[in-house]
């Protein structure tokens, strides 16, 4: 909903000239709740026998969706083409701090051109194409805490990239396609003629994001592919060369009384945005403390298979029930002979109090099992994670 008076004041502050064909909109959402969560990892084997547990009843920030505020605008350039921009900032409702590593517009920052006949071109910090075509297929999308699709798929279904040039086609009877490129190349040169020291370092990161989508009538489908390469050279010698590949395929069909959601995907030779719930497994380290498995196995040889089965059903004009089962299987035989398997079960309820305000409840239970069967080292660990949240969201 546009706040006309406030928007007018903002426009006056940012620019001295306003045109009738231009508009700037202030928007956002505020989301918070209370909940209980517990995580417990038990382990045995060559790391010994033991356990690590956390639990608490606490305030929850941005559960159904991350808190945000933003500005977006458009200017009619004629001939069906418009200039557009969007600046979106995330924040923590509990303490008021900026999100995404204290970035001012960490969620999104783009400028571009759009036309009904030829599509949309945007430049800046923005999401991969999978966020356009795959993320909406999951019943819980990228929100709802542990129930989010990322708990099994990591960030491959919805990831933010810096320095992106992205193009999305118009909608052709439900069909759309998108293609993006991201890149950052830096070179450092050091010369010391007195001592004869020469040092050249080159760090380059490049990638593409591609996707296809179909949304028409009861059918919704999507496919995405991401490729990221990070290469480092010192004095002409390659010291690092990582090539991460990820693809996902999703499908949904609305039977009116219930909607079916399906998704499957893989990540190879690394991960995009984490490995999900499996990354929360806690193991003892060699100093007597503990450390998470995290991304410690996400490099060459890494392979992750992820899946999702979901259902949504309206129970009244204002309420609907959501369910999903997600899971993944992770292996990396190049550096460790083992695997991690995760299973996550989610149940939620959403009730709209108005067009802009809703209440919700979600309960999620997940478990991950780690097994290592190396000749010199073996062991196993099991993580159990539970989250229950009651929340309120208001959009403006």
Largest CA distance in the chain: 80
CATH 2.40.160.10 for the 4-395 domain, yes or no:
yes
- Which pLDDT band holds residue 276 (cuts at 50, 70, 90)? very high
For residues 70-101, one letter each, b for 16 or more C-beta atoms within 10 angstroms of the residue's C-beta and e for the rest, the string is: bbbbbeeeeeeebebbbbbbbbebeeeeebbe
- Which pLDDT band holds residue 268 (cuts at 50, 70, 90)? very high
Calpha distance 353→350 (Å, rounded): 10
pLDDT at position 1 is 45
Is residue 27 predicted with pLDDT exceeding 80? Answer: yes
pLDDT at position 15 is 44
At 221, is the secondary structure helix, strand, or coil? strand
pLDDT at position 281 is 92
**Section 105-121 average pLDDT:** 97
> Which one-letter DSSP state was computed for residue 194?
T
Q: Which of 98-102, 239-243, 296-300 has the highest mean pLDDT?
A: 98-102
Is residue 14 predicted with pLDDT exceeding 70? Answer: no
pLDDT at position 336 is 66
pLDDT at position 294 is 73
pLDDT at position 48 is 84
Weakest-pLDDT range from 101-105, 222-226, 253-257, 287-291: 287-291
Calpha distance 361→346 (Å, rounded): 11
**Section 353-363 average pLDDT:** 98
**Section 210-222 average pLDDT:** 98
Is residue 9 predicted with pLDDT exceeding 60? Answer: no
Is residue 254 predicted with pLDDT exceeding 60? Answer: yes
Show the beta-strand stretches assigned E in 16-159.
22-45, 50-61, 68-78, 81-90, 108-115, 119-127
At 133, is the secondary structure helix, strand, or coil? helix
How far CA 130 is from CA of 118, 153, 225, 374, in Å, comes to 20, 12, 8, 36
Listed residue (63, 66, 58, 62) closest to 38, CA to CA: 58
- Which pLDDT band holds residue 213 (cuts at 50, 70, 90)? very high
Q: Is 236 exposed, middle or buried (0-12, 13-18, 19+ CB in 10 A)?
A: exposed
pLDDT at position 30 is 98
> Which one-letter DSSP state was computed for residue 171?
P
At 8, is the secondary structure helix, strand, or coil? helix
Is residue 322 predicted with pLDDT exceeding 50? Answer: yes
Beta strands 378-395 and 357-373: pairing type?
A: antiparallel
The H-or-E segment that residue 148 falls in is none
Q: Say if CB 109 and CB 125 are below 8 A apart.
A: yes
pLDDT tens readout for residues 277-314: 999 998 887 676 788 887 667 777 889 999 999 999 99
- Which pLDDT band holds residue 203 (cuts at 50, 70, 90)? confident
Calpha distance 46→94 (Å, rounded): 41
pLDDT at position 335 is 64
pLDDT at position 2 is 45
Q: What is the mean pLDDT of the chain?
A: 90
Residue spans per domain, the chain = 4-395
Calpha distance 64→392 (Å, rounded): 9
**Section 339-344 average pLDDT:** 96
Listed residue (119, 131, 122) closest to 248, CA to CA: 131
Calpha distance 387→364 (Å, rounded): 5
Backbone dihedral angles phi then psi of residue 8, each to the nearest 5 degrees:
-60, -40
């Amino acid at each position: 909903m546009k706040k006309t008076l406030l928007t007018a004041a903002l426009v006056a502050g940012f620019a001295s000239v306003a045109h009738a064909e231009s508009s700037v909109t202030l928007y956002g959402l505020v989301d918070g709740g209370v909940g209980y969560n517990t995580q417990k990892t038990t382990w045995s084997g060559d790391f010994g026998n033991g356990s690590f547990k956390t639990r608490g009843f606490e305030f929850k920030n941005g559960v159904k969706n991350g808190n945000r505020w933003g500005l977006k605008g458009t200017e009619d350039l004629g001939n069906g083409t418009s200039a557009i921009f969007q600046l979106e900032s995330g924040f923590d409702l509990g303490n008021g701090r900026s999100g995404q590593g204290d970035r001012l517009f960490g969620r999104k920052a783009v400028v571009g051109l759009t036309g009904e006949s030829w599509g949309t071109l945007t430049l800046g910090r923005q999401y991969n194409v999978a966020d356009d075509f795959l993320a909406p297929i999951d019943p819980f999308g990228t929100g709802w805490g542990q129930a989010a699709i990322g708990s099994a798929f990591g960030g491959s279904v919805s990831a933010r990239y810096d320095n992106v040039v992205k193009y999305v086609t118009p909608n052709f009877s439900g069909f759309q396609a998108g293609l993006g490129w991201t890149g950052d190349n830096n070179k450092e040169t050091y010369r010391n003629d007195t001592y004869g020291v020469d040092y050249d370092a080159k760090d380059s990161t490049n990638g593409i994001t591609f996707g296809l989508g179909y949304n028409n009538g009861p059918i919704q489908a999507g496919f995405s592919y991401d490729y990221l390469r990070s290469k480092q050279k010192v004095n002409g010698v390659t010291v690092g060369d990582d090539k991460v590949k990820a693809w996902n395929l999703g499908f949904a069909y609305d039977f009116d009384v219930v909607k079916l959601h399906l998704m499957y995907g893989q990540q190879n030779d690394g991960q995009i945005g984490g490995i999900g719930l499996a990354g929360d497994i806690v193991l003892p380290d060699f100093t007597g403390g503990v450390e998470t498995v995290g991304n410690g196995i996400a490099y060459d040889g890494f392979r992750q298979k992820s899946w999702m089965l979901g259902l949504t059903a309206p129970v009244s004009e204002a309420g609907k029930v959501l369910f999903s089962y997600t899971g993944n299987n992770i292996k990396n035989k190049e550096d460790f002979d083992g695997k991690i398997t995760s299973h996550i079960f989610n149940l939620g309820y959403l009730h709209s109090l108005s067009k802009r305000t809703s209440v919700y409840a979600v309960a999620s239970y997940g478990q991950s099992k780690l097994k290592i069967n190396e000749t010199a080292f073996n062991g196993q660990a099991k993580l159990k994670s539970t989250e229950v949240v009651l929340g309120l969201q208001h959009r403006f």
